[in-house]
Structure 1
Amino acid sequence: MKIFGITILLASLLASTPASAQNANTDKRVDRLEQEMRAIQRKVFPGGATRYFEPEITADTGPASPKPASTTSAVTDLIARVDALEASLANLTGQVEENGFRLKKIEDRLAATGESTTSSDSASANGSTPIVTPKAAPEAAPDPERVVGVAAIVMPDTGDSAEDAYIYGYRLWEAKFYPEAQAQLKKMAEEHSGHRRASFAQNLLGRAYLDDSKPALASVALYENYQKRPRGERAPDSLYFLSTALVQLKKNADACRVLAEMQEVYPEVASGRLADRVASGKTSANCK
Protein backbone atom coordinates (compact mmCIF):
# COMPACT_ATOMS: atom_id res chain seq x y z
CA MET A 1 0.00 0.00 0.00
CA LYS A 2 2.84 2.40 0.76
CA ILE A 3 4.39 1.84 -2.68
CA PHE A 4 1.08 2.48 -4.44
CA GLY A 5 0.71 5.71 -2.49
CA ILE A 6 4.12 6.85 -3.64
CA THR A 7 3.20 5.99 -7.24
CA ILE A 8 -0.02 8.02 -7.09
CA LEU A 9 1.83 10.96 -5.57
CA LEU A 10 4.44 10.77 -8.31
CA ALA A 11 1.75 10.73 -11.03
CA SER A 12 0.07 13.82 -9.57
CA LEU A 13 3.41 15.62 -9.46
CA LEU A 14 4.06 14.77 -13.08
CA ALA A 15 0.72 16.27 -14.05
CA SER A 16 1.05 19.52 -12.06
CA THR A 17 4.78 20.36 -12.23
CA PRO A 18 6.21 22.38 -15.17
CA ALA A 19 8.29 20.28 -17.52
CA SER A 20 11.51 22.15 -16.77
CA ALA A 21 11.46 21.31 -13.03
CA GLN A 22 9.64 18.04 -13.45
CA ASN A 23 12.54 16.18 -15.00
CA ALA A 24 15.08 16.64 -12.17
CA ASN A 25 12.67 16.18 -9.25
CA THR A 26 10.78 13.25 -10.70
CA ASP A 27 13.91 11.44 -11.76
CA LYS A 28 15.14 11.49 -8.14
CA ARG A 29 11.78 10.29 -6.88
CA VAL A 30 11.62 7.42 -9.36
CA ASP A 31 15.18 6.40 -8.48
CA ARG A 32 14.21 6.32 -4.82
CA LEU A 33 11.05 4.42 -5.68
CA GLU A 34 13.06 1.81 -7.56
CA GLN A 35 15.44 1.47 -4.61
CA GLU A 36 12.52 0.90 -2.25
CA MET A 37 11.10 -1.66 -4.64
CA ARG A 38 14.39 -3.57 -4.70
CA ALA A 39 14.56 -3.44 -0.89
CA ILE A 40 11.12 -5.02 -0.66
CA GLN A 41 12.15 -7.67 -3.16
CA ARG A 42 15.24 -8.52 -1.14
CA LYS A 43 13.19 -8.77 2.06
CA VAL A 44 10.52 -11.04 0.60
CA PHE A 45 12.80 -13.07 -1.65
CA PRO A 46 16.34 -12.93 -0.15
CA GLY A 47 19.04 -13.43 -2.74
CA GLY A 48 16.59 -13.68 -5.62
CA ALA A 49 14.90 -10.30 -5.97
CA THR A 50 16.74 -9.08 -9.04
CA ARG A 51 16.44 -12.42 -10.73
CA TYR A 52 12.66 -12.51 -10.39
CA PHE A 53 11.50 -8.90 -10.41
CA GLU A 54 13.97 -6.72 -12.25
CA PRO A 55 11.86 -3.88 -13.77
CA GLU A 56 11.09 -4.87 -17.30
CA ILE A 57 11.49 -1.81 -19.60
CA THR A 58 11.75 -3.26 -23.03
CA ALA A 59 12.81 -1.07 -25.90
CA ASP A 60 12.14 -1.50 -29.59
CA THR A 61 14.37 -4.17 -31.10
CA GLY A 62 14.83 -1.96 -34.17
CA PRO A 63 17.48 0.73 -34.69
CA ALA A 64 17.97 3.08 -31.78
CA SER A 65 16.08 6.35 -32.15
CA PRO A 66 17.95 9.61 -31.78
CA LYS A 67 17.70 11.19 -28.33
CA PRO A 68 14.85 13.72 -28.33
CA ALA A 69 15.77 17.24 -27.38
CA SER A 70 12.56 18.10 -25.56
CA THR A 71 11.72 17.14 -21.98
CA THR A 72 8.54 15.41 -23.12
CA SER A 73 10.40 12.20 -23.94
CA ALA A 74 12.09 12.26 -20.52
CA VAL A 75 8.73 12.53 -18.78
CA THR A 76 7.40 9.73 -20.94
CA ASP A 77 10.37 7.60 -19.96
CA LEU A 78 9.75 8.28 -16.29
CA ILE A 79 6.11 7.33 -16.68
CA ALA A 80 7.20 4.08 -18.36
CA ARG A 81 9.54 3.39 -15.46
CA VAL A 82 6.71 4.00 -12.98
CA ASP A 83 4.47 1.65 -14.95
CA ALA A 84 7.19 -1.00 -14.84
CA LEU A 85 7.54 -0.57 -11.09
CA GLU A 86 3.78 -0.94 -10.62
CA ALA A 87 3.82 -4.09 -12.75
CA SER A 88 6.70 -5.48 -10.70
CA LEU A 89 4.88 -4.68 -7.48
CA ALA A 90 1.74 -6.41 -8.71
CA ASN A 91 3.85 -9.42 -9.71
CA LEU A 92 5.54 -9.43 -6.31
CA THR A 93 2.21 -9.22 -4.49
CA GLY A 94 0.86 -12.10 -6.56
CA GLN A 95 3.88 -14.22 -5.74
CA VAL A 96 3.55 -13.53 -2.01
CA GLU A 97 -0.14 -14.44 -2.06
CA GLU A 98 0.57 -17.59 -4.06
CA ASN A 99 3.30 -18.67 -1.66
CA GLY A 100 1.02 -18.02 1.31
CA PHE A 101 -1.69 -20.13 -0.30
CA ARG A 102 0.76 -22.97 -0.98
CA LEU A 103 2.05 -22.84 2.61
CA LYS A 104 -1.51 -22.99 3.95
CA LYS A 105 -2.21 -26.08 1.84
CA ILE A 106 0.94 -27.78 3.11
CA GLU A 107 0.04 -27.01 6.74
CA ASP A 108 -3.48 -28.35 6.23
CA ARG A 109 -2.10 -31.53 4.69
CA LEU A 110 0.37 -32.01 7.54
CA ALA A 111 -2.37 -31.53 10.13
CA ALA A 112 -4.64 -34.02 8.35
CA THR A 113 -2.08 -36.79 7.89
CA GLY A 114 -0.06 -36.38 11.09
CA GLU A 115 3.19 -35.75 9.23
CA SER A 116 6.19 -34.10 10.84
CA THR A 117 6.60 -30.33 10.69
CA THR A 118 9.15 -30.67 7.87
CA SER A 119 7.43 -29.49 4.72
CA SER A 120 6.99 -31.88 1.85
CA ASP A 121 8.61 -29.34 -0.51
CA SER A 122 11.83 -29.34 1.54
CA ALA A 123 11.80 -33.11 1.78
CA SER A 124 11.46 -33.43 -1.98
CA ALA A 125 14.31 -30.97 -2.54
CA ASN A 126 16.57 -33.03 -0.29
CA GLY A 127 15.59 -36.26 -2.01
CA SER A 128 14.09 -37.69 1.17
CA THR A 129 10.67 -39.00 2.04
CA PRO A 130 8.54 -36.94 4.46
CA ILE A 131 8.48 -38.54 7.90
CA VAL A 132 5.06 -39.66 9.01
CA THR A 133 4.51 -39.78 12.76
CA PRO A 134 2.41 -42.83 13.60
CA LYS A 135 -0.74 -42.12 15.51
CA ALA A 136 -0.84 -43.47 19.05
CA ALA A 137 -2.78 -46.67 19.41
CA PRO A 138 -5.88 -46.37 21.57
CA GLU A 139 -5.37 -47.63 25.11
CA ALA A 140 -6.90 -50.99 25.84
CA ALA A 141 -9.85 -50.95 28.20
CA PRO A 142 -9.01 -52.33 31.65
CA ASP A 143 -10.08 -55.87 32.41
CA PRO A 144 -13.27 -55.56 34.52
CA GLU A 145 -12.40 -58.68 36.50
CA ARG A 146 -8.96 -57.32 37.32
CA VAL A 147 -10.42 -53.98 38.41
CA VAL A 148 -12.82 -55.77 40.73
CA GLY A 149 -10.06 -58.04 42.05
CA VAL A 150 -7.71 -55.16 42.85
CA ALA A 151 -10.53 -53.18 44.45
CA ALA A 152 -11.28 -56.15 46.70
CA ILE A 153 -7.82 -55.90 48.29
CA VAL A 154 -8.07 -53.43 51.13
CA MET A 155 -5.21 -51.49 52.68
CA PRO A 156 -5.07 -52.07 56.44
CA ASP A 157 -5.44 -49.17 58.83
CA THR A 158 -3.38 -49.84 61.93
CA GLY A 159 -2.16 -46.32 62.53
CA ASP A 160 1.31 -47.10 61.14
CA SER A 161 1.14 -45.75 57.58
CA ALA A 162 4.45 -47.33 56.54
CA GLU A 163 3.45 -50.75 57.84
CA ASP A 164 0.03 -50.47 56.22
CA ALA A 165 1.56 -49.47 52.87
CA TYR A 166 3.91 -52.46 52.92
CA ILE A 167 1.18 -54.94 53.89
CA TYR A 168 -1.04 -53.62 51.10
CA GLY A 169 1.77 -54.10 48.57
CA TYR A 170 2.38 -57.59 49.93
CA ARG A 171 -1.29 -58.48 49.51
CA LEU A 172 -1.27 -57.26 45.90
CA TRP A 173 1.84 -59.35 45.20
CA GLU A 174 0.34 -62.40 46.92
CA ALA A 175 -2.78 -62.05 44.73
CA LYS A 176 -0.46 -61.90 41.67
CA PHE A 177 -1.44 -58.38 40.71
CA TYR A 178 2.21 -57.71 39.93
CA PRO A 179 2.08 -54.29 38.22
CA GLU A 180 -0.12 -52.89 40.99
CA ALA A 181 2.13 -54.45 43.63
CA GLN A 182 5.23 -52.96 41.98
CA ALA A 183 3.76 -49.47 42.02
CA GLN A 184 2.67 -49.77 45.65
CA LEU A 185 5.93 -51.25 46.95
CA LYS A 186 8.05 -48.71 45.09
CA LYS A 187 5.96 -45.88 46.51
CA MET A 188 6.24 -47.29 50.03
CA ALA A 189 10.04 -47.64 49.84
CA GLU A 190 10.42 -44.07 48.57
CA GLU A 191 8.03 -42.40 50.99
CA HIS A 192 9.14 -44.38 54.08
CA SER A 193 12.80 -45.02 53.31
CA GLY A 194 13.78 -44.82 57.00
CA HIS A 195 11.24 -47.36 58.20
CA ARG A 196 12.33 -50.93 58.86
CA ARG A 197 9.70 -52.15 56.39
CA ALA A 198 11.44 -50.25 53.57
CA SER A 199 13.95 -53.11 53.31
CA PHE A 200 11.05 -55.56 53.04
CA ALA A 201 9.24 -53.44 50.44
CA GLN A 202 12.29 -52.95 48.17
CA ASN A 203 13.16 -56.65 48.37
CA LEU A 204 9.58 -57.62 47.54
CA LEU A 205 9.60 -55.11 44.69
CA GLY A 206 12.50 -57.04 43.15
CA ARG A 207 10.63 -60.30 43.59
CA ALA A 208 7.51 -58.81 42.00
CA TYR A 209 9.60 -57.89 38.96
CA LEU A 210 11.01 -61.42 38.82
CA ASP A 211 7.54 -62.91 39.00
CA ASP A 212 6.48 -60.53 36.23
CA SER A 213 9.36 -61.77 33.99
CA LYS A 214 11.34 -58.55 34.30
CA PRO A 215 14.76 -59.68 35.57
CA ALA A 216 16.57 -56.50 34.49
CA LEU A 217 14.30 -54.29 36.60
CA ALA A 218 14.48 -56.83 39.40
CA SER A 219 18.28 -56.72 39.45
CA VAL A 220 18.23 -52.92 39.79
CA ALA A 221 15.69 -52.92 42.63
CA LEU A 222 17.45 -55.69 44.52
CA TYR A 223 20.93 -54.21 44.20
CA GLU A 224 19.64 -50.82 45.36
CA ASN A 225 18.15 -52.43 48.47
CA TYR A 226 21.48 -53.99 49.35
CA GLN A 227 23.42 -50.83 48.54
CA LYS A 228 21.15 -48.37 50.36
CA ARG A 229 20.17 -50.58 53.30
CA PRO A 230 23.04 -53.04 53.89
CA ARG A 231 21.83 -53.56 57.47
CA GLY A 232 18.20 -53.92 56.47
CA GLU A 233 16.46 -57.14 57.43
CA ARG A 234 16.00 -58.20 53.82
CA ALA A 235 19.39 -57.13 52.44
CA PRO A 236 20.73 -60.73 52.42
CA ASP A 237 17.55 -61.91 50.68
CA SER A 238 18.04 -59.23 48.04
CA LEU A 239 21.48 -60.62 47.22
CA TYR A 240 20.07 -64.08 46.77
CA PHE A 241 17.25 -62.87 44.49
CA LEU A 242 19.77 -60.70 42.66
CA SER A 243 21.73 -63.85 41.80
CA THR A 244 18.49 -65.37 40.51
CA ALA A 245 17.85 -62.34 38.28
CA LEU A 246 21.42 -62.52 36.94
CA VAL A 247 21.01 -66.19 36.04
CA GLN A 248 17.87 -65.29 34.08
CA LEU A 249 19.91 -62.61 32.31
CA LYS A 250 22.53 -65.30 31.48
CA LYS A 251 25.17 -63.70 33.68
CA ASN A 252 26.10 -66.77 35.69
CA ALA A 253 29.60 -65.59 36.62
CA ASP A 254 28.15 -62.41 38.13
CA ALA A 255 25.54 -64.45 39.97
CA CYS A 256 28.29 -66.56 41.55
CA ARG A 257 30.16 -63.44 42.67
CA VAL A 258 26.97 -62.09 44.27
CA LEU A 259 26.43 -65.32 46.22
CA ALA A 260 30.07 -65.29 47.33
CA GLU A 261 29.66 -61.73 48.60
CA MET A 262 26.50 -62.72 50.40
CA GLN A 263 28.37 -65.48 52.25
CA GLU A 264 31.17 -63.08 53.12
CA VAL A 265 29.00 -60.16 54.32
CA TYR A 266 26.21 -62.19 55.95
CA PRO A 267 27.85 -65.48 56.96
CA GLU A 268 25.30 -66.34 59.64
CA VAL A 269 22.29 -65.79 57.40
CA ALA A 270 23.96 -67.52 54.44
CA SER A 271 24.68 -70.59 56.51
CA GLY A 272 21.44 -70.42 58.48
CA ARG A 273 18.08 -69.08 57.31
CA LEU A 274 19.09 -68.84 53.64
CA ALA A 275 21.42 -71.85 53.46
CA ASP A 276 19.12 -73.89 51.19
CA ARG A 277 18.62 -70.95 48.84
CA VAL A 278 22.35 -70.27 48.62
CA ALA A 279 22.94 -73.90 47.69
CA SER A 280 20.21 -73.90 45.01
CA GLY A 281 21.45 -70.55 43.70
CA LYS A 282 24.97 -71.90 43.23
CA THR A 283 23.57 -74.91 41.41
CA SER A 284 21.49 -72.73 39.06
CA ALA A 285 24.49 -70.53 38.29
CA ASN A 286 26.92 -73.49 37.95
CA CYS A 287 29.21 -71.98 40.56
CA LYS A 288 32.46 -73.88 41.23
Structure 2
Amino acid sequence: MSLNSFLKLVEIQTKAASMIPFSLGSLYALYRFQQFNGKNFLLMFISLLAFDMVTTAINNYMDYKKAIKTYGFNYESHNAIVKYKLKESTVIGVIGILLAIAVIMGFLLYLNTNIVVLLLGVVSFMVGILYSFGPVPISRMPLGEIFSGLFMGFVIVFVSTYIHIYDQNIITLFYSNGMLRLEMNIIELVYLFLISVPAIMGIANIMLANNICDIEDDMENKRYTLPIYIGKEKALKLFKALYYITYIDILLLLVVGVEPVISLLMLLTLMPVRKNLKIFDETQTKKDTFALSVKNFILINVSRIFAIGTALLINFFLVH
Protein backbone atom coordinates (compact mmCIF):
# COMPACT_ATOMS: atom_id res chain seq x y z
CA MET A 1 0.00 0.00 0.00
CA SER A 2 1.43 3.37 -1.02
CA LEU A 3 1.40 6.42 1.23
CA ASN A 4 -1.17 8.12 -1.04
CA SER A 5 -3.54 5.15 -0.91
CA PHE A 6 -3.15 4.89 2.88
CA LEU A 7 -3.90 8.58 3.37
CA LYS A 8 -6.93 8.24 1.10
CA LEU A 9 -8.13 5.11 2.92
CA VAL A 10 -8.08 6.90 6.28
CA GLU A 11 -9.17 10.21 4.68
CA ILE A 12 -6.44 12.12 6.48
CA GLN A 13 -8.02 15.47 5.55
CA THR A 14 -11.01 14.67 7.79
CA LYS A 15 -8.89 14.24 10.94
CA ALA A 16 -9.47 17.91 11.75
CA ALA A 17 -12.84 16.73 13.10
CA SER A 18 -11.02 15.03 16.00
CA MET A 19 -7.83 17.07 16.27
CA ILE A 20 -9.62 20.41 16.63
CA PRO A 21 -11.78 19.30 19.63
CA PHE A 22 -8.63 17.68 21.10
CA SER A 23 -6.73 20.98 20.81
CA LEU A 24 -9.67 22.92 22.20
CA GLY A 25 -9.90 20.70 25.30
CA SER A 26 -6.17 20.98 25.99
CA LEU A 27 -6.22 24.77 25.66
CA TYR A 28 -9.30 24.97 27.89
CA ALA A 29 -7.46 23.00 30.60
CA LEU A 30 -4.66 25.55 30.41
CA TYR A 31 -6.96 28.57 30.31
CA ARG A 32 -9.39 27.63 33.07
CA PHE A 33 -7.32 25.35 35.33
CA GLN A 34 -3.72 26.36 34.48
CA GLN A 35 -2.85 22.69 34.05
CA PHE A 36 -1.08 20.84 31.24
CA ASN A 37 0.34 17.29 31.27
CA GLY A 38 2.67 16.77 28.30
CA LYS A 39 2.85 12.96 28.61
CA ASN A 40 -0.93 12.55 28.73
CA PHE A 41 -1.30 14.99 25.84
CA LEU A 42 1.03 12.91 23.64
CA LEU A 43 -0.57 9.56 24.59
CA MET A 44 -4.07 10.82 23.81
CA PHE A 45 -2.94 12.47 20.58
CA ILE A 46 -1.52 9.19 19.23
CA SER A 47 -4.46 7.07 20.44
CA LEU A 48 -7.08 9.48 19.12
CA LEU A 49 -5.45 9.96 15.72
CA ALA A 50 -4.94 6.20 15.26
CA PHE A 51 -8.52 5.39 16.26
CA ASP A 52 -9.98 8.12 14.09
CA MET A 53 -8.14 6.56 11.16
CA VAL A 54 -9.51 3.13 12.19
CA THR A 55 -13.13 4.28 12.12
CA THR A 56 -12.69 5.94 8.71
CA ALA A 57 -10.95 2.87 7.24
CA ILE A 58 -13.71 0.59 8.59
CA ASN A 59 -16.35 2.92 7.17
CA ASN A 60 -14.72 2.84 3.71
CA TYR A 61 -14.30 -0.92 3.89
CA MET A 62 -17.95 -1.51 4.87
CA ASP A 63 -19.16 0.90 2.17
CA TYR A 64 -17.09 -1.10 -0.33
CA LYS A 65 -18.50 -4.42 0.89
CA LYS A 66 -22.14 -3.33 1.11
CA ALA A 67 -22.36 -1.06 -1.94
CA ILE A 68 -25.25 -1.80 -4.26
CA LYS A 69 -24.62 1.17 -6.54
CA THR A 70 -21.04 0.69 -7.76
CA TYR A 71 -20.58 3.72 -9.96
CA GLY A 72 -20.57 7.52 -9.60
CA PHE A 73 -18.46 10.07 -7.73
CA ASN A 74 -19.00 8.72 -4.22
CA TYR A 75 -18.00 5.17 -5.10
CA GLU A 76 -15.40 5.34 -7.86
CA SER A 77 -13.50 8.43 -6.68
CA HIS A 78 -14.28 8.69 -2.99
CA ASN A 79 -13.61 5.10 -1.89
CA ALA A 80 -9.84 4.41 -1.73
CA ILE A 81 -10.29 0.63 -1.96
CA VAL A 82 -11.83 0.99 -5.42
CA LYS A 83 -9.69 3.90 -6.60
CA TYR A 84 -6.35 2.24 -5.73
CA LYS A 85 -7.52 -1.40 -6.16
CA LEU A 86 -6.48 -2.28 -2.61
CA LYS A 87 -6.58 -5.90 -1.43
CA GLU A 88 -9.12 -6.61 1.30
CA SER A 89 -6.46 -8.40 3.36
CA THR A 90 -4.23 -5.32 3.20
CA VAL A 91 -7.04 -3.03 4.33
CA ILE A 92 -7.94 -5.36 7.23
CA GLY A 93 -4.26 -5.53 8.23
CA VAL A 94 -3.96 -1.73 8.30
CA ILE A 95 -7.11 -1.49 10.41
CA GLY A 96 -5.71 -4.05 12.85
CA ILE A 97 -2.37 -2.26 13.25
CA LEU A 98 -3.99 1.13 13.78
CA LEU A 99 -6.45 -0.33 16.29
CA ALA A 100 -3.60 -1.95 18.23
CA ILE A 101 -1.75 1.39 18.41
CA ALA A 102 -4.92 3.17 19.59
CA VAL A 103 -5.63 0.56 22.28
CA ILE A 104 -2.04 0.44 23.62
CA MET A 105 -1.74 4.24 23.81
CA GLY A 106 -5.21 4.49 25.35
CA PHE A 107 -4.35 1.90 28.01
CA LEU A 108 -1.12 3.73 28.86
CA LEU A 109 -3.18 6.91 29.19
CA TYR A 110 -5.50 5.14 31.64
CA LEU A 111 -2.52 3.93 33.70
CA ASN A 112 -1.33 7.54 33.87
CA THR A 113 -4.76 8.92 34.91
CA ASN A 114 -7.72 6.96 36.32
CA ILE A 115 -10.72 4.70 35.67
CA VAL A 116 -12.86 7.54 34.24
CA VAL A 117 -10.56 7.80 31.22
CA LEU A 118 -10.66 4.01 30.75
CA LEU A 119 -14.46 3.85 30.85
CA LEU A 120 -14.93 6.75 28.45
CA GLY A 121 -12.26 5.29 26.17
CA VAL A 122 -13.94 1.87 26.05
CA VAL A 123 -17.37 3.40 25.30
CA SER A 124 -15.88 5.67 22.63
CA PHE A 125 -14.07 2.76 20.97
CA MET A 126 -17.29 0.71 20.94
CA VAL A 127 -19.31 3.55 19.41
CA GLY A 128 -16.56 4.27 16.86
CA ILE A 129 -16.49 0.66 15.66
CA LEU A 130 -20.28 0.20 15.72
CA TYR A 131 -20.57 3.42 13.73
CA SER A 132 -19.64 1.52 10.57
CA PHE A 133 -19.61 -2.14 11.64
CA GLY A 134 -22.25 -4.62 12.75
CA PRO A 135 -25.66 -5.76 11.53
CA VAL A 136 -27.10 -2.22 11.68
CA PRO A 137 -24.23 0.34 11.69
CA ILE A 138 -24.94 3.72 13.27
CA SER A 139 -23.93 5.43 10.00
CA ARG A 140 -26.82 3.70 8.25
CA MET A 141 -29.35 4.97 10.78
CA PRO A 142 -30.80 8.43 11.52
CA LEU A 143 -28.52 8.64 14.59
CA GLY A 144 -25.19 9.42 12.92
CA GLU A 145 -25.38 13.16 13.56
CA ILE A 146 -26.15 12.67 17.27
CA PHE A 147 -23.43 10.10 17.91
CA SER A 148 -20.72 11.82 15.86
CA GLY A 149 -21.55 15.23 17.35
CA LEU A 150 -21.62 14.07 20.98
CA PHE A 151 -18.67 11.69 20.90
CA MET A 152 -16.35 13.72 18.66
CA GLY A 153 -17.57 17.13 19.77
CA PHE A 154 -18.13 16.62 23.50
CA VAL A 155 -16.37 13.44 24.66
CA ILE A 156 -13.09 14.36 22.94
CA VAL A 157 -13.17 17.88 24.40
CA PHE A 158 -14.03 16.49 27.84
CA VAL A 159 -11.34 13.78 27.88
CA SER A 160 -8.67 16.09 26.40
CA THR A 161 -9.42 18.49 29.26
CA TYR A 162 -9.78 15.80 31.92
CA ILE A 163 -6.39 14.15 31.26
CA HIS A 164 -4.76 17.35 32.53
CA ILE A 165 -7.01 17.79 35.60
CA TYR A 166 -7.96 14.20 36.50
CA ASP A 167 -6.82 14.80 40.10
CA GLN A 168 -8.99 17.90 40.65
CA ASN A 169 -12.30 16.11 41.41
CA ILE A 170 -14.23 17.15 38.28
CA ILE A 171 -15.43 13.54 38.12
CA THR A 172 -14.35 10.96 40.68
CA LEU A 173 -15.30 7.29 40.79
CA PHE A 174 -14.79 5.37 44.05
CA TYR A 175 -15.15 1.67 44.78
CA SER A 176 -14.92 0.50 48.37
CA ASN A 177 -16.45 -2.41 50.32
CA GLY A 178 -18.82 -3.30 47.49
CA MET A 179 -20.02 0.30 47.10
CA LEU A 180 -19.53 2.34 43.92
CA ARG A 181 -19.71 6.11 44.37
CA LEU A 182 -19.64 8.76 41.66
CA GLU A 183 -18.95 12.41 42.47
CA MET A 184 -19.22 15.22 39.91
CA ASN A 185 -18.61 18.94 39.85
CA ILE A 186 -21.84 19.80 38.04
CA ILE A 187 -20.95 23.45 37.34
CA GLU A 188 -17.64 22.62 35.69
CA LEU A 189 -19.24 19.80 33.70
CA VAL A 190 -21.94 22.18 32.42
CA TYR A 191 -19.24 24.67 31.42
CA LEU A 192 -17.33 21.91 29.63
CA PHE A 193 -20.46 20.94 27.72
CA LEU A 194 -21.12 24.55 26.72
CA ILE A 195 -17.48 24.93 25.61
CA SER A 196 -18.03 21.84 23.43
CA VAL A 197 -21.27 23.00 21.75
CA PRO A 198 -19.62 24.67 18.69
CA ALA A 199 -17.62 21.48 18.08
CA ILE A 200 -20.71 19.29 18.62
CA MET A 201 -22.81 21.31 16.17
CA GLY A 202 -20.03 21.64 13.62
CA ILE A 203 -19.28 17.91 13.53
CA ALA A 204 -22.98 17.00 13.46
CA ASN A 205 -23.37 19.35 10.49
CA ILE A 206 -20.48 17.72 8.63
CA MET A 207 -22.34 14.42 8.94
CA LEU A 208 -25.66 16.07 8.07
CA ALA A 209 -24.22 17.78 4.97
CA ASN A 210 -22.68 14.48 3.87
CA ASN A 211 -26.04 12.71 4.25
CA ILE A 212 -27.95 15.49 2.48
CA CYS A 213 -25.58 15.25 -0.48
CA ASP A 214 -25.92 11.47 -0.57
CA ILE A 215 -29.71 11.13 -0.24
CA GLU A 216 -30.19 9.48 -3.65
CA ASP A 217 -27.17 7.16 -3.34
CA ASP A 218 -28.04 6.27 0.26
CA MET A 219 -31.56 5.26 -0.71
CA GLU A 220 -30.14 2.93 -3.39
CA ASN A 221 -27.62 1.51 -0.92
CA LYS A 222 -30.25 1.18 1.85
CA ARG A 223 -28.60 3.68 4.20
CA TYR A 224 -31.57 5.22 6.00
CA THR A 225 -29.99 8.42 7.29
CA LEU A 226 -31.63 11.40 9.01
CA PRO A 227 -32.31 13.44 5.81
CA ILE A 228 -34.14 10.44 4.33
CA TYR A 229 -36.39 10.28 7.40
CA ILE A 230 -37.16 14.00 7.73
CA GLY A 231 -36.76 15.05 4.07
CA LYS A 232 -34.23 17.34 2.40
CA GLU A 233 -36.11 20.60 3.15
CA LYS A 234 -36.23 19.99 6.92
CA ALA A 235 -32.65 18.71 6.88
CA LEU A 236 -31.48 21.98 5.31
CA LYS A 237 -33.37 23.98 7.97
CA LEU A 238 -31.73 21.88 10.70
CA PHE A 239 -28.34 22.44 9.06
CA LYS A 240 -28.78 26.21 9.40
CA ALA A 241 -30.22 26.05 12.93
CA LEU A 242 -27.25 24.14 14.34
CA TYR A 243 -24.89 26.95 13.29
CA TYR A 244 -27.05 29.61 14.91
CA ILE A 245 -27.15 27.56 18.14
CA THR A 246 -23.35 27.71 18.04
CA TYR A 247 -23.29 31.52 18.08
CA ILE A 248 -25.91 31.69 20.84
CA ASP A 249 -23.75 29.32 22.90
CA ILE A 250 -20.67 31.52 22.40
CA LEU A 251 -22.58 34.58 23.59
CA LEU A 252 -23.76 32.63 26.66
CA LEU A 253 -20.19 31.59 27.47
CA LEU A 254 -19.09 35.21 27.23
CA VAL A 255 -21.88 36.30 29.59
CA VAL A 256 -20.97 33.73 32.27
CA GLY A 257 -17.27 34.56 31.88
CA VAL A 258 -16.02 31.14 30.77
CA GLU A 259 -14.96 32.26 27.29
CA PRO A 260 -12.32 35.03 27.06
CA VAL A 261 -13.61 38.45 25.97
CA ILE A 262 -11.43 38.31 22.86
CA SER A 263 -13.81 35.58 21.62
CA LEU A 264 -16.18 38.39 20.66
CA LEU A 265 -14.12 38.62 17.46
CA MET A 266 -15.39 35.15 16.64
CA LEU A 267 -18.76 36.63 15.83
CA LEU A 268 -17.15 38.00 12.66
CA THR A 269 -17.10 34.43 11.34
CA LEU A 270 -20.88 34.62 11.08
CA MET A 271 -20.55 36.50 7.78
CA PRO A 272 -18.60 33.86 5.82
CA VAL A 273 -20.62 31.09 7.51
CA ARG A 274 -23.88 32.65 6.32
CA LYS A 275 -22.42 33.01 2.82
CA ASN A 276 -21.55 29.31 2.81
CA LEU A 277 -25.02 28.44 4.09
CA LYS A 278 -26.60 30.29 1.19
CA ILE A 279 -24.44 28.44 -1.35
CA PHE A 280 -25.20 25.05 0.24
CA ASP A 281 -28.90 25.85 0.36
CA GLU A 282 -28.88 26.31 -3.42
CA THR A 283 -26.83 23.21 -4.32
CA GLN A 284 -26.08 20.06 -2.31
CA THR A 285 -23.48 17.80 -3.90
CA LYS A 286 -20.54 15.86 -2.48
CA LYS A 287 -18.25 17.16 -5.20
CA ASP A 288 -19.13 20.89 -5.12
CA THR A 289 -20.61 21.99 -1.79
CA PHE A 290 -20.09 19.33 0.92
CA ALA A 291 -16.70 20.88 1.75
CA LEU A 292 -18.50 24.03 2.93
CA SER A 293 -19.58 22.20 6.11
CA VAL A 294 -15.95 21.32 6.81
CA LYS A 295 -14.87 24.92 6.12
CA ASN A 296 -17.52 26.24 8.52
CA PHE A 297 -16.41 23.80 11.23
CA ILE A 298 -12.77 24.80 10.86
CA LEU A 299 -13.58 28.53 10.61
CA ILE A 300 -15.64 28.58 13.81
CA ASN A 301 -13.57 26.25 15.96
CA VAL A 302 -10.08 27.28 14.88
CA SER A 303 -11.03 30.90 15.58
CA ARG A 304 -12.05 29.77 19.10
CA ILE A 305 -8.72 28.01 19.54
CA PHE A 306 -6.98 31.19 18.36
CA ALA A 307 -9.03 33.31 20.80
CA ILE A 308 -8.29 31.10 23.82
CA GLY A 309 -4.64 30.79 22.81
CA THR A 310 -4.34 34.56 22.49
CA ALA A 311 -5.97 35.01 25.92
CA LEU A 312 -3.43 32.57 27.39
CA LEU A 313 -0.53 34.52 25.88
CA ILE A 314 -1.92 37.82 27.17
CA ASN A 315 -2.31 36.35 30.68
CA PHE A 316 1.22 34.92 30.54
CA PHE A 317 2.79 38.27 29.63
CA LEU A 318 0.73 40.12 32.24
CA VAL A 319 1.90 37.72 34.97
CA HIS A 320 5.53 37.81 33.84
Larger helix proportion of the pair: 2
Query: Shared topology, TM-score over 0.5?
Result: no
Give the TM-score taking structure 1 as reference length. 0.27
Which structure has the larger Rg over C-alpha atoms?
A: 1
